[in-house]
Amino acid sequence: MKTEEELQKIGEEVVEVICEIYDPEIPVNIYALGLIYDVEVSEDCDVKITMTLTTPNCPVAETLPVEVEEKVKTLPSVKDAKVEITFEPTWTKEMMSEEAKLELGML
């Protein structure tokens, strides 16, 4: 059984790995883009990631969630990882971090 602190640390490791994944059309990582809505770590170290895509017919709709799952599963502290795609709320440019907006010349 992991402590709340240990589970939080695993969540932070998951976010670090997610920050290494980039949208192929936009030179910004998917976390900074605001595509990750939630990261939940269960007491069993299973990770559930709720994310969205920039558009429902995004060219990487089939591959991006799988890439996220596979990379998160490489963490020794993670037992399993599942990605759930949602379009509620709909992604908008306002969800991007200040860094992402700066990188894309939107500030």
Which residues have C-beta within 8 Å of that of residue 99, sequence separation ≥ 6?
32
- The domain tally of the chain equals 1
The percentage of the chain sitting over the pLDDT mark of 70, rounded to a whole number, equals 100
* Cα–Cα distance for residue pair 99/107, rounded to 1 Å: 9
Is the model's pLDDT at 1 over the cut of 80?
A: no
Residue in this structure with the two tokens 């759930």, named with its chain if needed: 84
pLDDT grade for 59, boundaries at 50, 70 and 90: confident
pLDDT grade for 107, boundaries at 50, 70 and 90: confident
State the CATH number of the domain containing residue 56.
Answer: 3.30.300.130
Q: For residue 15, which phi and psi values (nearest 5 degrees)?
A: -65, -40
Find the domain containing 49 and state its range: 4-103
Range from 2-11, 20-29, 66-75 carrying the lowest mean pLDDT? 20-29
